[in-house]
Amino acid sequence: MPRFSMLWVFGSFVSSRLDRTLDKPSFLFHFLIVLFAYAFLFLCLREDPRISTTTTSETLKALAINHNTYEFRAARFNNYISSERFRSGPGELGRGVDTGISEEEMKRVNDKHGYNSYACNKTALDRSLGHRPAKECLAIKYPTNLPTASVILIFFNEPFRLIIRTAFSVVNRTPPNYLKEVILLDDGSTQPDLLDSMSTYVKQNWPDGVVRIVRLPERTGLIRARLEGAKVATGDVLIFLDAHCEVTFRWIEPLLYRIQQKPDAVVCPAIANIDRFTLKFFRTDVRYTEDGWLSLRVGSFAWDGMYIFEHPPRRSVIKRASNADPIESLTMPGGLFAISRKYFFDLGGYDEGMEIWGGENLEISFRIWQCGGSLEFTPCSTVGHVYRVIHPYSFPGIKDYNGHNIARMAEVWMDMYKENFYLARGDLKSIFRSPN
């Protein structure tokens, strides 16, 4: 029976009982009793996001923890997830923060950091988002034996609060039976707050060890740092996230479930924008627009080697049985995706011939498709991302790393179509070819 119908029947029952037991019940008394009945049934019938604090020996073995540790993690998850919607304060429920600073000051901090540090400092590190998946997604009952995940965050001189907020969102909104670990991989940072003070903070706030820091002795660049993160990870599934993200309720289940179904599928979440000026979380309601397009955008590329978002082809949309089904994508954005750890290394990981940053997302996308795998977006998983217009840190030397990497990608994977690439990027033609 639909929830509203059950509420109506129960309210009518209470109303009739009042008429029988009271000669002349006042309207206000009558109204309050019926309202209480509706509220009581609503609380009883709504979905309870909490989980059991006990689990099986198989789960404990997969997580490599004991029962006491699991009970601690489950209680932490339950406490947060059941109270999240009732929180208030700056930035809570994903609202934007009005810092009241001048346009000149806003421009200064944005030019320096790539985001509004004032808004970040005002917002709680474990803030609430209030985002819920679409009804088609909430209707899915995921199995309890999903694979475990290692969530890997790479950072180099990133803002401390953005990194920690990302870690809090993962721990607070991921059921502990799925989360093996969160790895904060420091690619040679030099900022003092990312060294000893971060180590102390992590130990104090996650004493159960679910979050751990791995430090590289010197800077290697994003690509090689991700490889190192994959090597030290122990979960069945690797989930790479940028260190300036916030995950939402039930974000991980769709990723793990799809990989359990299809181990050679590489799955990306729907990406929501977190405004860099206010930290407002913009919802990503996946729906069909009036002209028939699916609002979820997937990855593609331009001939100059740039990643772009675009509407999925209609043939990909039509063949889906449900709006909750994954949808194929030509390429991935690079910073947010899930992949089976075994499949990642079967593919060869990242191309170690690529340097620092840029182009690795297209290279691994082409490799996935040409080596028998598939690349997909799932509308039932949403992760927010702070898009910064600048890189607030420098790259070593003066080399065009992105140009080097996409030229290497074209030479390795594009075959005869690389000539189209060089028509758009003739300036890169001499990198891997001898001049005529």
Longest dimension (CA), the chain: 103
| Torsion angles phi and psi, residue 412, rounded to 5 | -80, -40
Check whether 14 has a pLDDT greater than 60.
Answer: no
Q: Which domains does the chain have, with CATH numbers?
A: 70-386 (3.90.550.10)
| Torsion angles phi and psi, residue 76, rounded to 5 | -65, -45
No. of helices (H) and no. of strands (E), the chain = 16, 11
Check whether 204 has a pLDDT greater than 50.
Answer: yes
Q: What is the pLDDT of residues 105-136, one digit of tens each?
A: 888 877 777 888 889 999 999 999 988 888 88
Nearest of 144, 341, 372 to residue 259 by alpha carbon: 341
- Extract the tokens encoding 274: 């977190």
pLDDT (0 to 100) of residue 316? 80
Q: Chain-wide mean pLDDT for the chain?
A: 86
Compute the distance between CA of residue 9 and CA of residue 6 in angstroms, rounded to an integer.
5
- Bridge partners of residue 376, in order along the sequence: 267, 328
Q: What is the pLDDT of residues 225-254, one digit of tens each?
A: 999 999 999 999 999 999 999 999 999 999
**Residue 21 or 222, more confident:** 222
pLDDT (0 to 100) of residue 34? 58
* Residue that the structure tokens 């970040």 belong to: 120
**Residue 169 or 291, more confident:** 169
pLDDT (0 to 100) of residue 421? 92
Q: What is the pLDDT of residues 19-63, one digit of tens each?
A: 555 555 566 665 666 566 555 544 444 567 888 999 999 999 999
| Torsion angles phi and psi, residue 322, rounded to 5 | -145, 155
Check whether 9 has a pLDDT greater than 80.
Answer: no
Compute the distance between CA of residue 345 and CA of residue 373 in angstroms, rounded to an integer.
13
User: How distant is the alpha carbon of residue 420 from its chain centre?
Assistant: 34
Q: What is the pLDDT of residues 301-313, one digit of tens each?
A: 999 999 999 888 8
Angstrom distances, CA of residue 299 to CA of 127, 270, 273, 290, 321: 29, 11, 16, 22, 21
| Least reliable range by pLDDT among 179-183, 193-197, 317-321, 335-339 | 317-321
